[in-house]
Amino acid sequence: MILLTVGLVLLGVFALRFHLDRRRLSNGIYLLLGVAVLVAWAIGAGDQADPTLVLVGLGLVLSPLVVLVLAGLLIANGMQMVRREGMRIANLLSIGPGIVLLVPYVLLGVAIATGSLRSVLLASLIMAVSYFGFVFTGFLVYSLLYGWLPYKPGMDAIVVHGSGLVGARVSPLLASRLDRAIQIYWAELAEGRRPVIIASGGKGSDEAVSEAAAMADYLLARGIPEASVAREERSTTTRENLLFVKRLLGERGATTRMVLVTSNFHILRTAILARRLKLDAEVTGARTAFYYLPSAILREFVAIVVAYKWTNAVTCLTLVALPLLLALVTGGLPTGR
């Protein structure tokens, strides 16, 4: 009954935090922990096994398994990207991390098979990899959940984040964001509101015009009135997008209630940034080609890990130390050559 209580408490914490602010990565961690504890309780109750051992077993098996599956998907996705878009460095980005994720498991297998004295150290490495597997699962599950949430109408501004141009034209990825913004604009208009659409994005060194200018042209060509389109042409990152847009809205005398339109793989990180900057904003995502998603999601996850670098560093160091401490306490630390 202890695990049942713990699982329900974790889900209750998730529900409360979700109600207060759904733009938190930790919401996904509480959700995943609660579900995992309840699954362990259900399995243990059905098989008359020790639920705590079941929970530990699930963690030791599923977390590394998630990382192995992720490695396979990244390698397969990289090969698909090469077939579709050619042999370019950008298209090979997912293959490298996929291979790197496999290395600890290969080394551990060799160490176990040969009786290597490095087994404890490799077990520590597996603990760290398993941690990231768990966090990645929470990130992925909550990203999907956040993306499925319905749009909340009643916005003063619709902010479209830039994503690169093809010459002076918007790319297919950016066009999907703009189409989503247009859809929201007409829906708001039908409800009697008249939000401003803010095209946000500066000019890259390889671009003929600013992203904001190309985006504004796209919107005007599809019937959005000039008075309803604003341009933010200085930003180069998502964070700058949000800061400059906040300043722009203040200059226009508008309130800061806004919806941020980006691609579906980018919504959770954008929402977390908006929360950190204390913006009254929600995020909605535009669809992305499926083959593009694995690489994009991996980049988003890496950015999240970096954003919470100290939390992740402390947790990893703790997990890495556990097998070493256990070996010292039990006298199982290898002493041979």
pLDDT confidence of residue 337: 43
The contacts found for 149-154 with CB under 8 angstroms, 24 or more apart, are: 149/22, 151/184, 151/259, 151/282, 151/284, 152/259, 152/282, 153/187, 153/188, 153/191, 153/193, 154/188, 154/191, 154/193, 154/257
Listing DSSP states for 250-297 in one string gives HHHT----EEEEEEGGGHHHHHHHHHHTT--EEEEEE---GGGHHHHH
pLDDT confidence of residue 336: 45
Q: pLDDT tens for residues 48-85?
A: 555 555 555 555 555 566 666 767 766 776 677 666 66
Compute CA distances 147 → 110, 154, 284, whole Å: 41, 19, 7
**Number of helices and strands in the chain (H, E):** 11, 7
pLDDT confidence of residue 42: 74
pLDDT confidence of residue 126: 73
pLDDT confidence of residue 313: 86
pLDDT confidence of residue 326: 75
Task: Say which residues have a Cβ less than 8 Å from residue 51's Cβ, sequence separation at least 6.
Answer: 2, 3, 40, 41, 43, 44, 45
Q: What is the CATH number of domain 157-288?
A: 3.40.50.620
Give pLDDT < 70 ranges for the chain. Answer: 1, 43-68, 70, 73-74, 77-78, 81-94, 96-97, 100-101, 103-119, 121, 253-256, 331-337
Domain ranges of the chain: 2-148+297-330, 157-288
pLDDT confidence of residue 229: 95
pLDDT confidence of residue 34: 87
182-183-184 Cα angle (round to 5): 90
pLDDT confidence of residue 9: 92
